Homo-oligomer: A and B are copies of this chain.
């Protein structure tokens, strides 16, 4: 059950004889003969019929060779892929972002990464739960994660900047008149919250724990974009990272007072390769200072 045996069998089928196959493979004839014999003994089937002029695949032999060819070509592809990865970057980079962090910065960084390594594919998992994020990162499925905090912050945690949280108010809400919204002013408001045990809901609860320990829950959603849209429709108010506000809703958004912000920390998996390092560098170069202003219309 060695690839060599498959290659020898395929060579015999192609060349038509053991001798010719041995020449193709640059080995002596007995070697090929022995390998095929061993393969047939191991499988308990005659793969080739012996004729005076050479070897010819039997009915089962042909069926076997079809699969063997797949195996050999897949092996070649595997080797070629790995060798290509030695000079160029090839493969799939897996990234996870929590709480919609980097909504504005990620596309730019990923675009630059793709321009530099065209054969590198990138997959982004959005909004995984904190526990799952930890697990994925530990297990090595994740190459890079953007998160707010890491209880057991490893050596490979890099502080990229801070993300300011803002409230989204319904159209016509009276607090839209102010430049900043005091958290105490929102007491009693219904809230568009996030999935239980999600990091976003944790931030919201933490922020409200002084003014409104048991906030009224209007709805729970997974995506920040959905929360903004529902809040705009008047379902309630919500609290999201500033960069997660979709275009067209800026006029419903206000910073809060006292200011709420979370660090954006990039965690690179242990044993990071050039792809992870490159993406980290590109993310660093992005601008993380909150420059967009949300003022009354």
Tell whether A83 pairs with B45 under 8 Å between CB atoms, given A58-B273, A62-B91, A92-B62.
yes
Bound-state Cα–Cα, A96 to B68, Å: 26
Residues of B within 8 A of A45 (CB): 82-83, 85-86
On chain B, the residues within 8 Å of A47 by CB distance are 82
Which 5 A-B pairs have CB atoms at the shortest separation, nearest pair first? Answer: A49-B271, A56-B140, A60-B85, A67-B78, A63-B91
Known: A63-B91, A91-B59, A273-B58. Is A74-B77 also a contact (CB below 8 A)? Answer: no
> Contacts of A43 on B, CB cut-off 8 Å?
79, 82-83, 86
A204 contact set on B, CB distance < 8 A: none
A1-9, A30-38, A161-169 - interface stretch: A1-9
Number of interface residues of A (CB under 8 A): 57
The interface residues of chain B lying within 8 Å CB-to-CB of A270 are 49, 51, 56
* Contact between chains at B83 and A78 (CB < 8 Å): no
Per assembly, the copies of the chain total 2
A71 at the binding interface (Cβ < 8 Å): yes
Interface string of A216-245 (1 = CB under 8 A from B): 000000000000000000000000000000
Which residues in B have their C-beta under 8 angstroms from that of A63?
Answer: 81-82, 85, 90-92
**A81:B60 contact, CB within 8 angstroms:** yes
Shortest C-beta distance, A276 to chain B (Å), equals 8
12 contacts between A and B (CB under 8 A): A47-B82, A51-B270, A51-B271, A58-B271, A59-B276, A60-B82, A60-B89, A62-B91, A63-B85, A64-B82, A67-B74, A71-B71
In chain A, positions 262-297 with a C-beta closer than 8 Å to chain B are 269-273, 275-276
- In the complex, the answer to whether B273 meets A56 with C-beta atoms within 8 Å is no
Given contacts A43-B82, A86-B45, contact A59 B16 (CB under 8 A): no
List chain B residues, Cβ under 8 A from A79: 1, 43
B49 near A273 (CB under 8 angstroms)? yes
CA gap between A64 and B70 in the complex, in Å: 16
A116 at the interface (CB under 8 A from B): no
Give a binary string over A39-61; 1 marks a CB under 8 Å from any B CB, 0 the rest.
Answer: 00001111111110100111111
B62 touching A81 by the CB < 8 A rule? Answer: no
Q: How far does the Cβ of A244 sit from chain B's closest Cβ, in whole Å?
A: 28
CB distance from A16 to the nearest CB of B (A): 7
Complex formed: what's the CA distance from A60 to B1 in Å?
26
Q: How far is the CA of A275 from the CA of B59 in the complex (A)?
A: 8
